[in-house]
């Protein structure tokens, strides 16, 4: 099973899921007062984030940005090697 976070945005009054995503940034943008964010990882509830402790989402946003930066750097390296290989031929 993949090891990544899933964020469920839940309306606290009706207790219904409003939004489900694996992106912390998307969930942060959709968050309003009266909702909570449930963070799941590997079918286990890791954390509940309410409006009073909303700054807790920032650690997940930071991790997501670092992950995207690593993926981008790896892709650039692959492209650089591929271009060098094609230039020789």
How many distinct structural domains can be found in the chain?
Answer: 1
- Is residue 1's pLDDT more than 90? no
Q: Is residue 39 part of a domain?
A: yes
Q: Is residue 69 part of a domain?
A: no
Q: Is residue 81 part of a domain?
A: no
Q: Is residue 24 part of a domain?
A: yes
Range from 1-5, 16-20, 78-82 carrying the lowest mean pLDDT: 1-5
Strand partners, 9: 19, 37
Higher pLDDT, 70 or 42: 70
pLDDT tens, position by position, 43-72: 899 999 999 999 999 999 999 999 999 999
- 16-21/5-11 β-pairing: antiparallel
Q: Is residue 77 part of a domain?
A: no
**Nearest-angstrom CA–CA distance, 89 and 74:** 23
Q: Is residue 87 part of a domain?
A: no
Domain of residue 10 covers 5-64
pLDDT tens, position by position, 10-27: 999 999 999 999 999 999
Q: Is residue 89 part of a domain?
A: no
**Nearest-angstrom CA–CA distance, 27 and 86:** 41
């Amino acid at each position: 099973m993949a090891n990544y976070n899933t964020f469920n945005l839940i309306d606290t009054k009706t207790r219904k899921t409003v939004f489900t995503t694996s992106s912390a940034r998307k969930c942060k943008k959709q968050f309003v007062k009266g909702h909570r964010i449930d963070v799941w990882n590997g079918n286990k509830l890791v954390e509940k984030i309410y409006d009073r402790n909303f700054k807790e989402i920032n650690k997940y946003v930071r991790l997501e940005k670092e992950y995207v930066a690593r993926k981008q750097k790896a892709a650039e390296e692959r492209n650089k090697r591929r271009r060098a290989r094609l230039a020789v031929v």
